[in-house]
């Protein structure tokens, strides 16, 4: 039987973490706010008892912990521990962040100015670069998996001009390790990708099958995130996955100008065109190259007039809001006010 939602509140998981409150739940498990030694604050994901009876789900859960532990970056949510407690429950503990998911911010703001989007994409590309260098392909980049952290800065950090917000990549639940020569290929877990991945941000080659995607699928998704944040609209919109798949396989993504009705500087149009090229051979070759190009876009856009046009809230596609089970996103860890960079 599946444990009653929130049933672990007050218990100790892994002999270390005192569970304080439930902050998210989904088909595979629940996420709790917990505290460890010296009041260390963590978000702890626990696999449901029913899910723990499925060897494939157990393998996926364990792979998430293993893969996340290999990515070291201030722009990726860090894992602090994982294991099985004496009751047989599998758990993963992540550092608990203060802030909000980019998806929550976009639901509230509808769209963001380029000045607000610029640091989010820069941070996320740095986190992506770290993951790719570690041989990890995320495969589920989207606003719900980008967390805008509200930082507590010391006076020294303030004086140094460090930003109050930092974007960090979450959830390596459907990620995979890049195949290397002489190494047996890992299970693709494609069935889970189809249900957990967000079709709205998925690269065309990924909707055909996730097993053979490479780093360029993550770049496509990041381009789609930037497009959504700037325009308030998805590159492709549809009421169901099949419509989105057909559009992605058939067409190149639209321009910012055709979507908003405003003229945008050519540098940002060219950048997103390359990030979201239908043919992955036409995209940037790496997150490093993409980040360098993005910073060039920011330099040029810093001298460009402000261009942004609000999208009608009624035009937002349902798929943008209903793409993932809540247990995969830690955007509900905490909430902050309306402060923006």
Classify residue 76 by its DSSP letter: B
For residue 42, what are the β-bridge partners?
34, 95
Classify residue 39 by its DSSP letter: G
Q: Which segments of the chain does DSSP mark as H helices, in order? A: 55-70, 102-109, 114-133, 155-159, 190-196, 204-208, 215-231, 241-250, 256-260, 266-275, 287-301
Instruction: Clarify whether 54 is annotated catalytic.
Output: no
Q: Which residues contact 145 (CB under 8 A, 6 or more apart)?
A: 101, 138, 169, 170, 171, 328, 329
Residue 23: which of 1, 2, 4, 5 has the closest Cα?
5
Residue 168: which of 69, 44, 74 has the closest Cα?
74
Give the Cα separation of 269 and 280 in Å (integer).
17
Among the options 140, 171, 193, 320, which is catalytic? Answer: 140
Which residue is listed with tokens 């992540």? Answer: 94
Give the Cα separation of 256 and 306 in Å (integer).
14
Chain centroid to Cα 36, Å, comes to: 26
Give the Cα separation of 288 and 132 in Å (integer).
9
Which residue is listed with tokens 């944040």? Answer: 229
Give the Cα separation of 59 and 94 in Å (integer).
19
Tokens of 305: 């007039």
Tokens of 131: 């993951």
Catalytic sites, residue numbers:
140
């Amino acid at each position: 039987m599946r444990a009653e939602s929130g049933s672990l509140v007050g218990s100790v998981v892994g002999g270390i973490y005192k569970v304080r409150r439930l902050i998210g739940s989904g088909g595979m498990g629940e996420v709790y706010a917990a505290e460890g030694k010296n009041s260390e604050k963590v978000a702890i994901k626990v696999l449901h008892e029913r899910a723990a009876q499925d060897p494939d789900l157990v393998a996926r859960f364990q792979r998430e912990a293993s893969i996340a532990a290999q990515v070291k970056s201030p722009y990726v949510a860090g894992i602090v521990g994982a294991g099985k407690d004496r009751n047989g429950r599998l758990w993963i503990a992540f550092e608990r962040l203060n802030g909000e998911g980019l998806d929550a911010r976009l639901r509230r703001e509808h769209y963001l100015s380029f000045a607000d989007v610029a640091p989010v994409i820069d941070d996320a590309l740095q986190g992506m670069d770290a993951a790719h260098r570690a041989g990890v392909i995320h495969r589920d980049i989207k606003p719900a998996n980008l967390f805008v952290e509200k930082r507590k800065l010391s006076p020294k950090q303030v004086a140094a001009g460090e930003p109050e917000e930092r974007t960090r990549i979450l959830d390596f639940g459907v990620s995979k390790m890049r195949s290397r020569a002489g190494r047996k290929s890992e299970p693709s877990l494609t069935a889970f990708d189809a249900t957990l991945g967000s079709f709205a941000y998925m690269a065309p080659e990924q909707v055909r099958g996730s097993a053979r995607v490479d780093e360029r699928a993550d770049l496509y998704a990041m381009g789609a995130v930037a497009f959504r944040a700037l325009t308030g609209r998805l590159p492709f919109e549809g009421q169901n996955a099949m419509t989105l798949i057909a559009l992605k396989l058939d067409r190149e993504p639209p321009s910012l100008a055709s979507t908003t009705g405003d003229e945008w500087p050519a540098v940002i149009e060219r950048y997103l065109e390359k990030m979201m090229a239908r043919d992955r051979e036409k995209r940037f070759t790496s997150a490093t190259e993409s980040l360098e190009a993005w910073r060039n876009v920011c330099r040029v856009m810093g001298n460009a007039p402000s261009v942004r046009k609000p999208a009608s809230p009624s035009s937002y596609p349902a798929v943008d809001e209903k793409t993932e089970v809540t247990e995969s996103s830690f955007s509900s860890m905490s909430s902050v006010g309306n402060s923006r960079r």
